Amino acid sequence: MVRVAHRNPGVATLADTVAARVTPSVAAVMATGTAAGVDSVIASAPGFQSDTGIIVVGTGTSEVVTWPPFGLTVGQSWPLYLHILGPTGDPRMSTVTKTFTLTTNDNIEFLQDGVPITTVTVPAGYESSLLFHVRGTAAGTGTVTISASNYSSVTKSVTAAP
């Protein structure tokens, strides 16, 4: 049994004081940020040396995985996933469903299940969105700004060829 405790309850809360076994050598406990700052989590088990990890709570960011590396042609679509990241750039699982706004210019659009979208959602309990696509709609540089509350905005661009 691995017990967990933390030093700064004003920054984060732990879902339990005992870590849940994931594999024979890995255990986990959900931590939820409550205010910006740093917290230390101490894991201990009888017969083993304790260990300490750091939780940084702050503004997160996002990353579009598989962004088109060589551009698009008008009418071509490209598959994407949006991943959420913590303030230090490490993957994060959202405890709530999080909706990100996709603000584009006229050269690209986003689709999910073939339908144009202006938002993409990361469901609670996940680190990434469901599959969606970017499609070239007019020749030129397509630009999108991805934004959500408590997350830094991210801007991406891609060239759409005729």
145 close to 103: Cβ distance less than 8 angstroms: yes
Give 43-98 pLDDT, tens digit per residue: 898 999 999 989 889 999 999 989 999 999 999 999 999 999 999 898 988 888 99
pLDDT of residue 71: 96
Could you give the domains of the chain? 3-57 (no CATH), 61-161 (2.60.40.10)
For 58-150, strand residue ranges (E) read 61-65, 72-73, 77-85, 98-104, 108-112, 115-117, 119-122, 132-136, 140-148
Q: What is the mean pLDDT of residues 134-153?
A: 97
pLDDT of residue 94: 84
